Structure 1
Amino acid sequence: MARLGELEHAIMDVLWSAPRPLTAREVRTAMPDRDLAATTILTVLSRLEAKGLVARDRSQRAHRYSAVDGRDAHVVELMRQALDTAPDSTAALARFAGSVSPSEAEALAEALGEAMLRRRKEGG
């Protein structure tokens, strides 16, 4: 998954925040600080759909768009890709752990503990 361009990210922010699928017009309305043509929004939504980030519901005249996964899933995928490019993933993880705030370190330690427990229960 490639990093998102600035406009792609802005549109994904709208979709991630939306309580329901949105039309392209609704996406455009949700970004009042930008003067974008409807065709521009549709083009970006099509590109995001091709990247597997957006689902399109074609059951109505005005198609509705929604994020395939949440923002957290996207961040996880980006982090996983970054880690996969490191020649020494252990060193990269250690350096990352040293760069987080104390509260983030606590959350990370808790998440790792829960993940380890889950894996033990699953036998893996």
Structure 2
Amino acid sequence: MQKLSDAELAVMEVLWSGHEFVLGELVEALKHKKKWSRNTVHTYLTRMEKKALVKINRSQEPHLYSYVLTKDEYLKEERNHLLNRAYQGSVSDLISAFLKDSKITPEEKEELNKILDEMEV
């Protein structure tokens, strides 16, 4: 999978929030984040369709737009990219770096311990 641009990610965030959208709904939802025209949104959607990120259902009017790439798939790719690029694949180094730079609550610590205990290694 290729990395999403900031613009593509903005479109995907809207698509991930629902099932299918007509163009006007997407334009309206993106108006708060971006000041894009209807044509700009449409251009992004058709480009993203060619990249197999978005599906455009042209069998009815108005056309319906939905995601192909799920948010879980995207987040997994992003995590793997960060893990391999910045931490040479070391999960413990990645987690240690986050925990050193962030404060976690006792509840979060308990949840992390539970996850580690349940993992099969």
Query: What TM-score does the superposition give when structure 2 sets the normalisation length?
Result: 0.72
**Residue 48 (structure 1) shift:** 1.8
Change (3 A) 1:6 1:88: closer
**Residue 5 (structure 1) shift:** 1.9
Question: Match for 2:115 among 110, 113, 119?
Answer: 110
- What does the per-residue CA deviation read over 1:59-113, in whole Å, with 9 as the maximum and x for residues that have no partner? 11222111124322211112123334468323xx222111145427834862783
The secondary structure found in structure 2 opposite 1:81 is helix
2:39 counterpart of 1:31: no
The secondary structure found in structure 1 opposite 2:62 is coil
- In structure 2, give the amino acid aligned to 1:21: E
Between 1:80-89 and 1:30-39, the stretch displaced more is: 80-89
- In structure 1, give the amino acid aligned to 2:51: K
Change (3 A) 1:28 1:109: same
- Give the count of matched residue pairs: 113
Name 1:74's counterpart in structure 2.
74
Name 1:122's counterpart in structure 2.
none
Structure 2, unpaired ranges of 5+: none
The secondary structure found in structure 2 opposite 1:56 is strand
- In structure 2, give the amino acid aligned to 1:97: I
Change (3 A) 1:88 1:29: closer
The secondary structure found in structure 1 opposite 2:31 is coil
Identity of aligned residues (%): 28
Quote the RMSD (CA, aligned, Å): 2.8
Where has structure 1 moved over 6 Å in runs of 4 or more?
A: none
- What does the per-residue CA deviation read over 1:23-54, in whole Å, with 9 as the maximum and x for residues that have no partner? 22210011233332211111111222222221
Paired with 2:62 and 2:113, the residues of 1 have a C-alpha distance of 42
Q: Which has the higher contact order (CA 8 A, sep 6+)?
A: 1
Structure 1, unpaired ranges of 5+: 118-124
Name 2:7's counterpart in structure 1.
7
Query: What TM-score does the superposition give when structure 1 sets the normalisation length?
Result: 0.71
The secondary structure found in structure 2 opposite 1:28 is helix
